């Protein structure tokens, strides 16, 4: 048996607030105390303390009740609207009222709780895809068009001599080329004319390789 001391709380509040809490409790088939306890289990006390308190009812907001005992039994009198809760001792009225207000916000979808297990590492999401602007897309299209136009037309008879090789590599005939410049040009053209690039093909690549073999001699 639990030794937790229970206490009866009178939570004064507006009529609207009282009715909303009671309607929620009825819909969930629990009582107002159960609603408050559920929120206290899920929400950090500091969060509750920093939440909005609907406060006491306004001066004109009163409920009419009949006295059931004493000399005035059977008479009606007006009092502040209230909720009666039975919970563990140690809470103040304002804290419980804030807790119930959070319950109403959650029920209306105005507040969403994210429950985390401290023993489970957070889910690592992949980085978002980079956003490419319309200007960059247009520039890429323009460069592709230029590359397509500049791509050499393969030689029908194949690469037979140095002049053919110079044409394939894009050097003017008679130009003196050092090995470093030749290798650099080959790497650039190989990326363009490779069969997987979309601008070349096997024939382009084979003639590029043939031109490189001739110019390296």
- Most confidently predicted of 26-40, 124-138, 179-193: 26-40
What was the pLDDT predicted at 84? Answer: 95
What percent of the chain has pLDDT above 70? Answer: 90
Q: Which residue has the higher pLDDT, 198 or 8?
A: 8
Query: Residue holding tokens 């084979």?
Result: 206
For the cut 90, the answer to whether the pLDDT of residue 152 exceeds it is no
**Which letter, b or e, does each residue of 36-61 get, where b requires 16 or more Cβ atoms within 10 Å of its Cβ?**
bbebbeebeeeebeebeebeebeeeb
Tell me, what's the pLDDT at 34?
94
Residue appearing with tokens 């140690």: 90
Average pLDDT over residues 51-77: 86
pLDDT band for position 1 (cuts 50, 70, 90) = very low
Q: Of 22-31, 53-62, 142-151, 168-177, which range is least confident?
A: 142-151
Tell me what the mean pLDDT of segment 173-188 comes to.
85
With 60 as the cut, is the pLDDT of residue 3 above it?
Answer: no
Q: Spell out the domain ranges in the chain.
A: 6-107, 134-215
Most confident range (mean pLDDT) of 70-74, 105-109, 122-126, 167-171 is 105-109
User: Under CATH, which architecture does the 134-215 domain have?
Assistant: Orthogonal Bundle (1.10)
List pLDDT tens digits, range 66-117.
Answer: 887 777 787 888 999 999 999 999 999 999 999 999 999 999 988 887 766 6
Residue-wise over 127-161: b if at least 16 C-beta within 10 A, else e?
A: eeeeeeeeeeeeeeeeeeeeeeeebbebbeeebee
Which of these ranges, 20-34, 72-86, 111-125, has the smallest mean pLDDT?
A: 111-125
Confidence category of residue 37, pLDDT binned at 50, 70, 90: very high
Q: What is the mean pLDDT of the chain?
A: 85
pLDDT of the residue at 62: 93
Q: How confident is the model at residue 128 (pLDDT cuts 50, 70, 90)?
A: confident
Helical ranges in the chain per DSSP H: 15-28, 32-42, 45-49, 93-107, 134-150, 162-169, 179-193, 202-215
Answer whether 85's CB lies under 8 Å from 12's CB: no
């Amino acid at each position: 048996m639990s030794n937790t001391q229970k206490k009866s709380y009178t939570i004064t509040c507006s009529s609207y607030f009282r009715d909303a809490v009671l309607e929620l409790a009825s819909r969930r088939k629990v009582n107002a105390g159960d609603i408050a306890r559920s929120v206290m289990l899920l929400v950090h006390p500091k969060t509750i303390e920093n939440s909005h308190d609907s406060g006491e009812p306004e001066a004109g907001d009163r409920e009419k009740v009949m006295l059931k005992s004493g000399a005035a039994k059977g008479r009606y009198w007006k009092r502040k609207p209230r909720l009666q809760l039975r919970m563990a001792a140690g809470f103040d009225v304002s804290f419980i009222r804030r807790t119930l207000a959070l319950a109403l916000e959650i029920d209306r979808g105005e507040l969403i709780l994210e429950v985390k297990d401290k023993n489970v590492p957070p889910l690592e999401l992949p980085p978002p895809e980079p956003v490419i602007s319309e200007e960059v897309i247009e520039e890429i299209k323009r460069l592709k068009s230029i590359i397509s136009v500049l791509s050499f037309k393969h030689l029908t008879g194949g690469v037979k001599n140095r002049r053919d090789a110079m044409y394939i590599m894009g050097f003017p005939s008679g130009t003196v080329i050092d090995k470093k410049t030749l290798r650099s040009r080959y790497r650039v053209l190989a990326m363009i004319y490779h069969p997987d690039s979309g601008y070349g093909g096997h024939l382009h690549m084979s003639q590029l390789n043939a031109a490189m073999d001739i110019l390296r001699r």
